[in-house]
């Protein structure tokens, strides 16, 4: 497969709903279902492209070698990940993927084989750098959307029960505030306070996450 074909396939990936992804992890980790393993690897292929964009000026052959190494890192991450530890898979996997790529470059001594002007074999007048610049952004966005969904779910699950219900009722279930307040047997003003407290907690958790990401 050529680089262009690979990138085109990755852009076709459709985000899983959180419940669908959770079911895949359960199927793989508790029942050893290989189809769940395959789907998780496919779902997170955008992480390989996200890591690949760091070397987007390389020649196509080297980039495809890095795709292969990054995919091995992704497979290892899927096989070794523990979804019960409360760590986002995206954050865990990107280290494995980048590590495999870096190890390959060091082993093959190819870190200097970088050329932003390498022609792309599929598009006249286009370089590999142009191709990655155009396609890495959408697939990276897919990966980041997955990552943010994971983190929001992680943060929501760790809120106190009433704060979680107050937020999910209005924001996720799209119910009227009055209905949510009534179901929780609290006043609308109390509901508003719970929502504000929950949002502050989520912001704090996401802020700490962003701090960790800056270290990567």
Strands (E), 104-162: none
d(CA 105, CA 111): 6
Q: Does residue 198 share a domain with residue 148?
A: no
Q: Does residue 62 share a domain with residue 94?
A: yes
Question: Quick check: 128 and 60 in contact, CB under 8 A?
Answer: yes
Report pLDDT for 144.
58
Q: Which residues contact 165 (CB under 8 A, 6 or more apart)?
A: 180, 184
Is residue 175 classed exposed, middle or buried when 0-12, 13-18 and 19+ CB atoms within 10 A define those classes? middle
Last residue in a domain, options 138, 153, 168: 153
Residue 53: which CATH number? 1.20.120
User: What is the domain extent for residue 213?
Assistant: 158-216
Q: Does residue 59 share a domain with residue 82?
A: yes
Report pLDDT for 58.
64
Q: Does residue 109 share a domain with residue 12?
A: yes
Q: What is the pTM for the complete model shown?
A: 0.58
Buried b (16+ CB within 10 A) or exposed e, 84-116: eeeebbbebbbebbbbbbbebbeeeebeeeeee
Q: Does residue 33 share a domain with residue 89?
A: yes
Q: C-alpha angle with apex 46: 153 to 6, nearest 5 degrees?
A: 155
Report pLDDT for 53.
77
Residue 209: which CATH number? 1.10.10.10
Q: Does residue 187 share a domain with residue 163?
A: yes
Q: Does residue 112 share a domain with residue 186?
A: no
- Which residue, among 72, 92, 73, 74, has the nearest Cα to 82 in the 3D structure? 92
- Which residue, among 8, 70, 2, has the nearest Cα to 41 in the 3D structure? 70
Question: Quick check: 166 and 198 in contact, CB under 8 A?
Answer: yes
Q: Does residue 110 share a domain with residue 36?
A: yes
Domain count, the chain: 2
Last residue in a domain, options 153, 168, 191: 153
Q: What is the pLDDT along the chain (216 residues), one digit of tens a residue?
A: 688 888 888 888 877 777 888 899 999 999 999 999 999 999 899 889 888 877 766 678 888 899 999 999 999 999 999 988 777 788 888 889 989 998 888 887 654 444 444 444 444 555 545 544 444 445 555 555 656 666 777 788 888 998 989 888 887 677 888 998 999 999 999 999 999 998 888 888 877 766 665 554
Report pLDDT for 71.
95
Buried b (16+ CB within 10 A) or exposed e, 155-174: bbeebeeebbbbbebbeeee
Q: Does residue 31 share a domain with residue 122?
A: yes
Question: Quick check: 91 and 212 in contact, CB under 8 A?
Answer: yes
d(CA 121, CA 98): 26
Report pLDDT for 13.
82
Q: Does residue 69 share a domain with residue 142?
A: yes
Q: Does residue 173 share a domain with residue 128?
A: no
Token pair for 177? 């505030």
Q: Does residue 163 share a domain with residue 83?
A: no
Last residue in a domain, options 135, 153, 171: 153
Report pLDDT for 123.
46
């Amino acid at each position: 497969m050529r680089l262009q074909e690979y990138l085109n396939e990755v852009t076709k990936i459709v985000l899983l709903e959180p419940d669908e992804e959770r079911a895949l992890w359960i199927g793989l980790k508790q029942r050893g279902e290989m189809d769940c393993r395959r789907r998780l690897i496919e779902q997170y292929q955008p992480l390989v492209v996200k890591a690949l964009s760091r070397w987007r000026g390389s020649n196509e052959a080297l980039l495809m070698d890095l795709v292969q190494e990054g995919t091995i890192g992704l497979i290892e991450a899927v096989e070794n990940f523990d979804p019960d530890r409360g760590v986002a898979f995206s954050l865990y996997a990107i280290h494995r993927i980048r590590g495999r790529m870096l190890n390959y470059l060091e082993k093959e001594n190819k870190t200097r084989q970088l050329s932003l002007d390498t022609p792309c074999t599929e598009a006249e007048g286009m370089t590999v750098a142009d191709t990655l610049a155009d396609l890495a952004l959408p697939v990276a966005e897919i990966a980041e959307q997955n990552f943010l969904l994971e983190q929001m779910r992680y943060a929501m699950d760790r809120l106190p029960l009433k704060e979680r219900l107050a937020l999910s009722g209005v924001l996720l279930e799209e119910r009227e505030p009055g209905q949510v307040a009534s179901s929780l047997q609290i006043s609308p003003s109390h509901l508003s306070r719970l929502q504000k407290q929950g949002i502050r907690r989520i912001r704090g958790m996401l802020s700490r996450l962003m701090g960790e990401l800056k270290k990567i």
